[in-house]
Amino acid sequence: MSTPISKSDTTIIFPSRPSKSHTLALAHNALADATVLAQLLHVIYEGADPTRWHAAWAIEKVAHQAPQLLLGERRRLMHLAMHTDTTHGLRRLLLTTLHHLPDEEVIDVAFFDYLLQQMTDLQSPPAVQAIAMKLAERHSRIEPALHDEFLCIVRNIELDYYSPALRSVARRYIKR
């Protein structure tokens, strides 16, 4: 779905310091124009860090309003989330985008393992831990054995070491 765009096209999409209103306007335009959507995805996959973050933010807004537009990009977004090492903000936006997409019928075990690792990693920011836990729980519902593994991990987490956000999400799943 992503079409190659030049560096000059990237600067047209994103000025040197994009504002919140500009990023939200791009998200709105991407809902109506497949070319803008393809350009935003290209920036996420190939762009420089500050610009990638703004493109990911716009794509997250698109996923929230029209998740069907990104179903074909799920695998690439999952791969990028697992292999991005630049910023936690970009990882959080990618995971949130994936959270907005409907569940698949088949579980990507590598991605599920990645989510389990992120939700228990004390070095990950609380927002990344919480969204990883939510995604892991959703993915585990598809396969009962994985759901049992997920619940076992959540029950055995020493919650005192985690943020209130993660404790809240974990308690919700423990109560079920």
Which pLDDT belongs to residue 38? Answer: 94
The amino acid at 65: Q
For residue 44, give Cα distances in angstroms to 56, 64, 98.
6, 17, 14
Contact predicate 87/47, CB 8 Å? no
Which pLDDT belongs to residue 1? Answer: 46
Contact predicate 125/98, CB 8 Å? no
Contact predicate 139/102, CB 8 Å? no
Q: So where are the chain's domains?
A: 1-72, 103-176
Whole-prediction pTM value?
0.86
Which pLDDT belongs to residue 74? Answer: 95
Q: How far apart are CA 31 and CA 143, in angstroms?
A: 33
Q: How far apart are CA 171 and CA 133, in angstroms?
A: 11
Q: What is the pLDDT along the chain (176 residues), one digit of tens a residue?
A: 444 444 445 555 777 777 888 889 999 999 999 999 999 999 999 888 778 989 999 999 999 999 999 999 999 999 999 998 767 899 999 999 999 999 888 888 999 999 999 999 988 899 999 999 999 999 998 888 889 999 999 988 888 888 888 888 888 888 87
Contact predicate 69/35, CB 8 Å? no
**Non-local CB neighbours of 24 within 8 Å, separated by 6+ positions:** 58, 61
